[in-house]
Amino acid sequence: MGLMSPEQPHYDLAEFRTLPYHDRVRLACLDWVHCGFGAPTSAYLFYLLKIGLWIGGWILIVRASGMSGGVADWWTTPMAFVKAIAWTMLWEGMGFGCGSGPLTGRYWPPVAGLGHWLRPGTITLPAFPDRLPFTAGSRRTVVDVALYAGYLGTGAALLFADRVGPATVLPVLVLLALASLRDKTVFLASRGEHYATTLAVVVFVGSAGIAADTTWAQVPVGVIAGAKAVQVAIWWWAATSKLNHHFPYVVGVMLTNHPLNRFPTLRRRLVRAYPHDLRPGTVPRVLAHGGTVIEYVVPLTLVLSDGGVGTIVGLGIMVAFHAWIFSSFALGVPQEWNVLFVYSALVLFGTNAEVEPWQLGSPLLWAILLLALVVVPVVGNLRPDKVSFLPSMRYYAGNWATTTWLFTPEALARFDREVPKVADELLTQLRRFYDDDANEVSLSRVPAFRAMHLHGRLVQRLICRAVEDPDDRVIREGELVAGMALGWNFGDGHLHDEQLLDAVQERCGFAPGELRIVAIESQPITRATWSWRIVDAADGVLLRGTAPVTDALEQQPWPDPIQGRDEAP
């Protein structure tokens, strides 16, 4: 790994180019075990710099709100906490947080959301186009831009207000909701299920609001309890999302991609029997189950403790837990989110250990939090096809909806030319920095990332069924297509399913066969099956079916060349 250059492949590139598709996938997966995505050191420095700018921005914002003294004097105060939540929501809502930079396939520009959402004519994905009047259509209008700009403007007013209360918070939430009805990407990018819900709790602080000199003793108990309830719900639902076969595969992928894991022998021991069996080995499986236990038990300990040893030990464990996630630089790069989770845990469960999450008081607050923290996640786990994995709080657990887009070369060129966007097609971005050999290696590691996950087994087999010869196609992850066409992506397959495909087809007019996608829905919590479909941009759904998750447990990440197309799932 160099400062600017990606790591070299552990195979001969000239030979790699001559191999059929299934052999190239196999070599790319073996290469993943050796070096993961192989990102250069500069990629990780980018994220560290970005974290520094985010923290520095928060310090300046809090100081501008009337707070005096050093950071150590005020970092746990109500004003600092509320401004941290609001600032992070706006930071994410401009595209600077999750889903930014080179580890998400965003090389130039490294952040596209802000420019994309302020540009008329770009693609929008309405949240309920068939149910809510005046929200249909996939073309961003001046009104859409105005709503998004209004969201940012009222957010800025909240950030620099010297008193935070209903009058400053409600306009932000209302404009976020209105902008998101026309483009759900804005809500998801803003991490509304976390930050907007927490800010909604602040509305109940009363007309007096929170000022620089407000202490936690002066804040209604229901506000503290509500913020705690949001954090505990995220921990517990995240743990619940890991009660399946997927998570050990995620941990294995994270560990083989970990920037501090530079030991070839250790990397090979993370799989069962390198190079023949790349399923997760003992270490990823133990860590996966251990992480699930931590997310259930330690938050419960924090809830039941009142500031004693239980609180100290619990906070220590959760700080270490999120620090480990941070250090892995997962390819969605939720770096700010993990830092904020540590900060809010220290403020809510350290400074306010005596407050219980159920001390909400207000019936309206109870109703809001029951809807956001119970009803939506329950529906999302039972019917993952209906709810994004973010509001469902099914976080980095491997059980995601996903798509793979299969372009003819001419179709990809037309997509790049006809779809209005801030970011060019991925290969065009890469050519700004690397030569063609390095770019080919980097692009081969993207499908390897997907293939190494459990659902990647099904993806590979459906690709071989969707087209006659994968070697004749330019294969792009739906994640990367969404990053270009929507300005943002973060692991949500609902951002690049048929809704985006229809919007792209509206602009490009592909003939039958020029563009097909393989789409897989998340596994419902009550069934051990995936629903899948193969969709043509011009002809619609060609095939659909279900596949047992347990079948994938016996498969390697590359497709079997012996299987015929009719034998694929």
In a domain, 6, yes or no: no
Same domain, 220 and 349: yes
Supply the pLDDT for residue 565.
42
Q: Which amino acid is at 327?
A: S
Same domain, 363 and 423: no
Q: Residue 88 and residue 61: Cα distance in Å, rounded?
A: 12
Same domain, 69 and 167: yes
Residue that is written with structure tokens 């990823």 in the block: 284
Q: Got the DSSP string for 357-385?
A: TT----HHHHHHHHIIIIIHHHHHHH-TT
In a domain, 4, yes or no: no
Supply the pLDDT for residue 90.
98
Indicate the residue among 382, 415, 444 that finishes a domain.
382
How distant, in Å, are the alpha carbons of 530, 563, 564 from that of 569? 11, 10, 11
User: CB of 64 within 8 A of CB of 160?
Assistant: yes
How distant, in Å, are the alpha carbons of 267, 350, 400, 422, 549 from that of 283? 11, 32, 23, 41, 22
Q: Residue 227 and residue 233: Cα distance in Å, rounded?
A: 10
Same domain, 449 and 541: yes
In a domain, 452, yes or no: yes
Q: Residue 5 and residue 1: Cα distance in Å, rounded?
A: 7
Same domain, 437 and 517: yes
In a domain, 372, yes or no: yes
Q: Residue 469 and residue 476: Cα distance in Å, rounded?
A: 15
Q: Residue 193 and residue 389: Cα distance in Å, rounded?
A: 10
Same domain, 542 and 474: yes
User: How many degrees, rounded to 5, is the angle at CA 367 between CA 362 and CA 368?
Assistant: 100
User: CB of 405 within 8 A of CB of 517?
Assistant: yes
Q: Which two tokens stand for residue 173?
A: 């939430």
User: CB of 232 within 8 A of CB of 192?
Assistant: no
Same domain, 334 and 427: no
User: CB of 228 within 8 A of CB of 357?
Assistant: yes
Task: Return per-residue pLDDT of the chain as tens, 569 residues.
Answer: 568 888 999 999 999 999 999 999 999 999 999 999 999 999 999 999 999 999 999 999 999 999 989 999 999 999 999 999 999 999 999 999 999 999 998 899 999 999 999 999 999 999 999 899 999 999 999 999 999 999 999 999 999 999 999 999 999 999 999 999 999 999 999 999 999 999 999 998 877 899 999 999 999 999 999 999 999 999 999 999 999 999 999 999 999 999 998 888 999 999 999 999 999 999 999 999 999 999 999 999 999 999 999 999 999 999 999 999 999 998 889 999 999 999 999 999 999 999 999 999 899 999 999 999 999 999 999 999 999 999 999 987 899 999 999 999 999 999 999 999 998 898 999 999 999 999 999 999 999 999 999 999 999 999 999 999 999 999 999 999 999 999 999 988 999 999 999 999 999 999 999 999 999 999 999 999 999 999 999 999 999 999 999 999 999 999 876 543 444 45
Q: Residue 218 and residue 209: Cα distance in Å, rounded?
A: 10
Contacts 24+ apart (CB under 8 A), 282-286: 283/255, 284/248, 284/249, 284/251, 284/252, 284/255, 285/248, 285/251
Same domain, 378 and 506: no
Q: Where are the alpha helices (DSSP H) in 423-474?
A: 426-430, 436-452, 454-466
In a domain, 256, yes or no: no
Same domain, 147 and 296: yes
Same domain, 408 and 376: no
Supply the pLDDT for residue 305.
94
Q: Got the DSSP string for 1-46?
A: --SSSPPPPSS-HHHHHHS-HHHHHHHHHHHHHHHTT---HHHHHH
Supply the pLDDT for residue 1.
58
Helix orientation angle between 41-64 and 335-345, rounded to the nearest 10 degrees: 50
Same domain, 173 and 236: yes
Burial degree of 351 (CB within 10 A; 0-12, 13-18, 19+): middle
Domain that includes residue 476, residue range: 402-567
In a domain, 49, yes or no: yes
Same domain, 418 and 500: yes
SS3 state of residue 272: strand
Indicate the residue among 329, 351, 382 that finishes a domain.
382
Indicate the residue among 382, 413, 430 that finishes a domain.
382
In a domain, 30, yes or no: no
Supply the pLDDT for residue 566.
40
In a domain, 499, yes or no: yes
Q: How many structural domains comprise the chain?
A: 2
CA nearest to 35, candidates 57, 14, 5: 5
Question: Is the backbone peptide bond immediately before 120 cis, with ω within 30 degrees of 0?
Answer: no
